Structure 1
Amino acid sequence: MSRATTESKSVVREAGMLERWHVARQNLGVLGAVVISGRYTRADGSILDKALLYAALEKVIHKHGALNVCVAGEATPTPAFVRLDRIDLDEVVTFVDGDLREVLEAEVAKGFDMTRPLWRILVVPDGTVNFSFHHVIGDGQSGIAFHRTLLAALNEMGETSPPHSAVVSTSAKVTLVPPIEQVANLHVSPFRLIREIIKMLVPASWTAAYWAWTGYPCPSERKLTANLRLLYHKPEAAHRILQVCRAHQTSLTALMHTLATLIISEYLAEDPSNTGRYTSISTSIPVSLRAFAKAPPGVMCNYVSTHFSFPTLIKRTPSTDRSWLREFPWDSTSELSKTLRKQQTHSAESLGMVKFIGDFEAYHMNKLGKKRDYTFEISNVGRFPGGAETPGGDTGSSAWTLDGVYFSQSNPSSGGAIHVNVAGDPAGGIGISVSWAEGAIDDTFGEAFFEAFKEGLEEVVHHDIA
């Protein structure tokens, strides 16, 4: 495939503010891939083959304009999306052997050639399709939108695929949804600006960030490698977890946020050298702005902001009881859930702050070698639209079904120490990926965090809410 240039390709539109942010991260080598995975099986037990996948992908490509573009002028202040004349599926689709966890661990650390399609697919033997894409063309929910379209396309075709070619010609009228600043009010109040300026002027010890534990400092060199672990709750267990959340008037994201905070608090309390040094951790929770921007779940776009917080370290009464739910702070967890609901509109202001950063590349480079901004990020793309409401719920009589959905993304050296990514599947199951950046924490703690997180959620499954 020939490389794209602004002279030889049709410009679809210029990159927006958030898209330029991700282009800058790509240029610096601090941005890998976003991956949404899902296992496709048919009622008769067969799994996806190349002929069926290619035929379905042609329909998906024609549905989503983001799959038909690349980026030109990425090293300039005004990068633009340009149309690719064609997509060669043999170049973007790979059937691979190997364990899913290992495939994802390697894939999220890979970048993209901006002059070629900004997505790729890896299919593992059990029929799991790993849709890997550049953040510039979509947020996590965009990956869900892709799988919704692919599942529908497979079920429209039936058992056999129509004649197809590995080369898909794109439409001459490729369109993209507008950038977020054109469809949402990102106004920043004077009060917010003054507060941010004050934070830059006061001594570091006066700020919440100074007293927050965020793992080891960012390395001076750029890295994308991370350790990744997977955890899946079947529909029955997932339904039970959500029941517990409702009983305590909280959300799944808030529950996991508090559980992660509790685990880290216990870890820090076990080391006497931390006594009096830290009073909190720093966390990041991406918040979808789709509802705010009136964007339906079925489109590919990048409409997301972030809610930052500094939760206080959780202190519990010493006990031989290993239970993570002992003295669990359900009240503060419920309050966080309420805050996150408000952030679906309020966090637009946080995204608006990006426009005051003059040089994106310098901003990201300045993170290297410094204390991390946050300890962990928890990102939840939510329930799969149209999925089952109850365990074992009816998913219809479609020939193809989708389960085992996971959301994974790169964990760069300049980001948070730990990432927790959550996704639901049509059957009602919940997939969770936990990763920690290389050198951000000790691997022994990373493994211990994952095991404790798994233990805590298992406790929730069996939690008595009577």
Structure 2
Amino acid sequence: MADHHFLTRLRPVGLLEQFATARHSLGFYNNVGVSAFYSSLSARDFPALKHLIFVALDAVIADHPALSAVPVDEGTSAPYFARLPQINLQEATTFVSSELVLDPYNEVSIKELDRILEEQHNTGFRNQASSLPFWRTIVLYEPEKCSNVVVCFVFHHALADGTSGLAFHRAFHSALDRASSITPTFGAYCSHGNTELFARPPDRSLIPSLEDIHPLPLSITYILKSLWNDWFPTRPSTVWTGAPITADHRKRRSGFHSICFSQDTTASLLRACRSHSTTLTAVVEVLTAAAVLTELPSEYSIVRCDGAIAMRRWLPHDVVNENSIGNWVSRYVDEHRRTAGDVRARSKAIDLFSWDEARRVRKTIETELNKEGKNSVVGLLKYAGDLHQRFKGKIGKDRDETFEISNIGVYKSGVAEDKDCEWKVGRVVFSQCADVCGPAIGVSLVTGGDGCLNIGLSWLEGIVEGVWMEQMMRTLRQVVEEISRSG
């Protein structure tokens, strides 16, 4: 980070945040993205749209201190967050004229947005000037009416978790609607040209780190069990987790692909989940495991899942709520198997799915939730030692899990539902870059304001072969649609 001495020191980087900054300092990208399709009742010219975007961003920055925070000294044992003196909105925002990407349900449009997001997830936040934040927005707009736009919010994982991406869009949506009520649509604003537009960050403290607002208690039994598993890991030869962790930079490029399901398919799938006493997250986890196992060679019969757990529900509500931007997550670990009989019968993915398994996963998640943050993996980070050395020590070793699953839920507008509301949010896409040291595949779930489930899948080229991923994703789409039809 350039020009440290111009930055205002905020607070030390927390345990969970260090997990992201340590990886970033080693050259591993750790980007998260939440993108939303916005539609307006009014047509406008590009200068007016650009003005609206900047006014809305300025308002969001004023309400969220995390957006003006940057990690400093990431490569040391004592990283900290500092506040930028100002944020150059022109530099932090890229405007792209595109008719191709603005149809949210067209396959060509979906692939084009995937391409843009893949490019963003392979672009880090290093070597930035002192007026650039550790987030950026890409605004895709139609060249004439400017009434439909896609806003991609991409950010460093140390700043925020996936749920924060929804919080950003709620705040941005509200600010955009307020600004639209007072901003003319045509002719009032000339092009800004090369003029630099700066947002002034709020003079407010950064929301505390997780360990400062939650005790993260650990029992002796849990600590000893975790140490034993760390020192003497058990790994059957039939577990598949992709290629081993590598220092090869040619195998650090993230691929990304999204699957958008219709509103009817999503609604049917949710009804099926409820009727079988389970949840969407549990069902998609089991279906993903089934799709992966179906496409693997016969010698593999086990896949492992790393599931994200949001910890906001256990934090003081006057400090952290659903509209806060920060990093407050933990995880659970699960395992899925196929039998020798499944292999001999060449079972399809749908044959490997069972509602009993989906209910078991729901109980696994509920067990973790009922602990309310006690005996959580994130609590163990205080005993992890030097994270840089820990990550370097993983080079050449097998990955612990096959895939990660994270569901940030449903986009709910921060704007009062009113027929006169200027802007609406439809499809939402949750995306993440693949983890150099983590699971081979990332599975990111979100349901947009249109009621459509979107699944984002990420992987590292060379760790997982692209052709294999394409087939696995086709299988996943098929089994999700089949389960939604059959109930």
Match of 1:391 in 2: none
String of CA shifts for 1:427-463, please: whole Å, max 9, x gaps.
3222211122111222221011110111111112312
How do 1:128-143 residues align onto structure 2 when only pairs under 5 Å count?
A: 128-143=150-165
In the alignment, what sits opposite 1:195? 225
In 1, the alpha carbon distance for the partners of 2:369 and 2:44 equals 41
Deviations 1:333-360 (A, max 9, x none): 1121122123235355211111111110
CA spacing shift, 1:279–1:429, aligned 2, 3 Å: closer
Q: How far 1:426 moved relative to its partner?
A: 2.1
Give the equivalent residue in structure 2 for 1:363.
Answer: 390
Q: What is the identity, as a one-letter code, of the residue corresponding to 2:332?
A: H
> CA separation of 1:453/1:279 partners in 2, compared to 1, >3 Å: closer, same or farther?
closer
Residues 210-221 of structure 1: matches in 2 within 5 Å? 211-221=238-248
Matched, 1:416 2:443: no
Contact 1:138 1:302 in 2 (8 A): yes
Change (3 A) 1:143 1:59: same
Separation in structure 2 between the aligned mates of residue 209 and residue 283 of structure 1, nearest angstrom: 15
Task: Output the amino acid matched with 1:230.
Answer: S
User: Where does residue 401 of structure 1 map in the other structure?
Assistant: 424
Q: Contact 2:427/2:448 (CA < 8 Å) preserved in 1?
A: yes
Identify the residue that residue 331 of structure 2 maps to in structure 1.
306
CA contact (8 A) 1:403 1:425 kept: yes
Name the structure 2 match of 1:242: 270
Q: In structure 2, do the counterparts of structure 1 residues 399 and 433 end up closer, same or farther at CA, with 3 Å as the change threshold?
A: same
Root-mean-square deviation (CA, aligned residues, Å) is 2.6
How far apart, in 2, do the equivalents of 1:188 and 1:210 lie? 31
Matches within 5 A, 1:291-440: 291-294=313-316, 295-313=320-338, 316=342, 324-326=349-351, 328-346=353-371, 348=374, 349-386=376-413, 397-440=420-463
Q: Given the superposition, is the C-alpha separation of residues 61 and 353 from structure 1 closer, same or farther in structure 2, using an over 3 Å criterion?
A: same
Query: Which structure 2 residues correspond to residues 56-75 of structure 1 after superposition, within 5 A?
Result: 56-75=56-75
Of residues 303-312 and 167-176 in structure 1, the stretch that sits farther from structure 2 once superposed is: 167-176
Q: Any gaps of 5 or more consecutive residues in structure 1?
A: 389-393
1:299-337 CA-to-partner distances (Å, cap 9, x unmatched) read: 001000111122223664876996x43463101211211
Residue 140 (structure 2) aligns with = 124
Separation (CA, whole Å) in 1 of partners of 2:11 and 2:197: 24
Q: Partner amino acid for 2:179?
A: M
Q: Give CA deviations for 1:79-112 in whole Å, capped at 9, x if unaligned.
A: 2211111111111000135721110011112211
Q: How many residues align?
A: 447
- TM norm structure 1: 0.89
Cα distance in 2 for residues equivalent to 1:46 and 1:247: 46
Rounded to whole Å, the distance in 1 between the matches of 2:288 and 2:224 is 32
Distance 1:435 1:12 in 2: 33
Establish whether residue 450 from structure 1 lines up as the match of residue 473 from structure 2: yes
Q: Describe the shift of the 1:230–1:23 C-alpha distance in structure 2 as closer, same or farther (beyond 3 A).
A: same
- Aligned-partner residue type, residue 163 of structure 2: Q
Contact (CA 8 Å) 2:84, 2:201: kept in 1 or not?
Answer: no
Preserved contact between residue 289 and residue 345 of structure 1 (Cα < 8 Å): no
Instruction: State the SS of the aligned residue for 1:137.
Output: coil
* Counterpart residue number, 1:36: 34
- Once residues 215 and 169 of structure 1 are traced to their aligned partners in structure 2, the CA distance between those partners, rounded to angstroms, is 44
Give the alignment of 1:129-168 within 5 angstroms: 129-161=151-183, 166-168=196-198
Please tell me the residue identity of whatever aligns with 1:219. Answer: T
Q: Partner of 2:71: helix, strand, or coil?
A: strand
Structure 1 range deviating more: 54-63 or 152-161: 152-161
In the aligned structure 1, how far is the partner of 2:279 from the partner of 2:209?
29
Contact 2:269 2:484 in 1 (8 A): yes
Q: Give the secondary structure class of the aligned counterpart of 2:274.
A: helix
Matches within 5 A, 1:258-273: 258-268=286-296, 271-272=297-298
- In structure 2, C-alpha distance between the alignment counterparts of 1:387 and 1:73, rounded to whole Å: 36
Deviations 1:211-264 (A, max 9, x none): 421122122324531221111123332212111111111111111110111122
After superposition, the C-alpha distances for 1:145-179 in whole angstroms (9 at most, x for unaligned) are 00000000111123553889853342462221110
Q: Which residue among 165, 170, 180 is the counterpart of 2:210?
A: 180
Q: Which residue of 1 aligns with 2:145?
A: none
> Alignment partner of 2:6: what SS?
coil
Q: TM-score, normalised by structure 2?
A: 0.85
Structure 2 gap segments, 5+ residues each: 99-111, 143-148
SS of residue matched to 1:147: helix
Q: Which range moved further: 173-182 or 411-420?
A: 411-420
2:7 corresponds to which letter in structure 1?
K
Where does residue 101 of structure 2 map in the other structure?
none
Tell me how far apart the structure 1 counterparts of residues 246 and 76 of structure 2 sit (CA, whole Å).
27
Deviation at 1:402, TM superposition (A): 0.8
CA distance in 1, matches of 2:419, 2:485: 29
Distance 1:447 1:308 in 2: 25
Distance in structure 1 (CA, Å) of the matches to 2:413 and 2:342 = 41
Asked whether the 8 Å contact 2:26–2:75 carries over to 1, the reply is no
Instruction: Verify: 1:252 aligned to 2:280, yes or no.
Output: yes
Change (3 A) 1:201 1:39: closer
Measured against aligned partners, the alpha-carbon deviations of 1:16-62 in whole angstroms (never above 9, x if no partner) come to 11112211111001233111000111124669821111111111110
SS state at 2:410 partner: coil
Amino acid in structure 1 at the alignment position of 2:32: V
Check whether the contact 1:83–1:174 (CA below 8 A) recurs between aligned residues.
no
Residue 131 of structure 1 aligns with an amino acid whose one-letter code is: F
Shift of 1:405: 0.5
1:387/1:317 Cα in 2 relative to 1: closer, same or farther (>3 Å)? farther
| 8 Å Cα contact 2:122-2:253 kept in structure 1 | yes
Q: CA deviation at 1:387?
A: 8.8
Measure the CA separation in 1 of the matches of 2:346 and 2:308. 36
Whether the 8 Å contact between 1:66 and 1:137 is mirrored in structure 2 is yes
Once the two structures are superposed, residues 367-399 of structure 1 have per-residue CA deviations (whole angstroms, 9 ceiling, x without a partner) of 2221111111111111123599xxxxx775411
What is the percent sequence identity of the aligned residues?
A: 28
For 2:458 and 2:394, the matched residues in 1 are separated by 20
